[in-house]
Amino acid sequence: MRAWLATHPRWDIVWFPPYAPELNPVELLWGYLKYGRLANFAPDTVDEIRSHVRRERRRLGRRPQLLRSFFRHSALPFRV
């Protein structure tokens, strides 16, 4: 890994503490979905959950500025 990093100077390694959800952009994404887009969603089947999550994933794919915001609002030094 050190050799690869030496040949790719634009990459940085950031070590995560054992538990730090505030540093993880994925936690912000799941919070957005769980407490925002899928709040009060009461599915009857696993397939219904799957289809709603897929729909939201496609919707997020069309909103790159929203996805970038999860990185910007984490406490990590991302260059987004």
Low-confidence ranges of the chain (pLDDT < 50): none
Instruction: Give the separation between CA 68 and CA 12, rounded to whole angstroms.
Output: 18
pLDDT in tens, 39-61: 999 999 999 999 999 999 999 99
The whole-number pLDDT of residue 80 equals: 55
What pLDDT, on a 0 to 100 scale, did the predictor assign at position 79? 64
Alpha helices by DSSP H, listed for the chain, are: 2-7, 25-32, 46-61, 64-72
DSSP 34-48: IIIITTT---SSHHH
Q: What is the structure's pLDDT at 67?
A: 92
* pTM: predicted TM-score of the whole model, two decimal places: 0.65
What residue type is assigned to position 39 of the chain? Answer: A
